[in-house]
Homo-oligomer: A and B are copies of this chain.
Amino acid sequence: MVSTLHAPPDVAAPLAPGQLLARGVCRLLASHDFASLTEVAPAPGLRVDVMALGPKGEIWVIECKSSRADFTSDRKWTGYLEWCDRFFWAVDADFPSELLPLETGMILADPYSAEIQRMPTESRLAPARRRVLTQLFARQAARRLLLLRDPQFSVFSS
């Protein structure tokens, strides 16, 4: 998903095609006991569509591509590989899946559900990076939750 969203997700805003896929993906991940967070920046200049944290601390990254153009215009994706144990694309049934590199994972998604079509090989994060990413994920999720639960308070939105 090509995204310029820097503000926390707005629950009332209509979802873009990539965000609709992300919703299906998050539901899939939940059913696998992975907690997921959308639009996460693991490093400056890098923003992933979905980051998910598994029951054993596994970190997966999922990029949602709503069209061929959306995929081919993404020049940053190889940079995501070093920020997760497994990397997946999420695409819909109309996407030309032969475009996706075979070593990456593939999730077939729609706005309501998704399923894993190809599980990628695991490339384990170093412990120090896993610790930093888990902490970043935790703080980001809690901040967004606070913004939704206490919208009058805006220290994080400045």
Which positions in A face B, CB cutoff 8 Å? 9, 11, 23, 26-27, 30-31, 35-37, 53, 55, 57, 131, 134-135, 137-146, 148-150, 153, 155-156
* Copies of this chain assembled into the complex: 2
SS class of chain A's interface: helix, strand, loop or mixed? helix
**Contacting pair B153 A27 (CB below 8 A):** yes
Would you give 9 A-B contacts (Cβ < 8 Å), ordered by A?
A11-B148, A23-B150, A26-B153, A30-B143, A30-B146, A30-B156, A35-B139, A35-B142, A55-B139
Chain B CB within 10 A, most for which of A26, A30, A31, A55: A30
**Contacting pair A146 B35 (CB below 8 A):** yes
User: A35-B140, A53-B139, A144-B145 given. 6 additional CB < 8 A pairs?
Assistant: A35-B138, A35-B142, A53-B138, A57-B131, A134-B138, A137-B142
A30-B153, A155-B27 known; A37-B145 Cβ under 8 A? yes
| Cβ contacts under 8 Å, A155 to chain B | 27, 30-31
| Cβ contacts under 8 Å, A143 to chain B | 30, 35
Option from B36, B137, B142 in Cβ contact (under 8 Å) with A146: B36
Cα A149 to Cα B148 with chains together (Å):
9
**Contacting pair A36 B134 (CB below 8 A):** no
**For residue A146, which residue of chain B has the nearest CB?**
B26
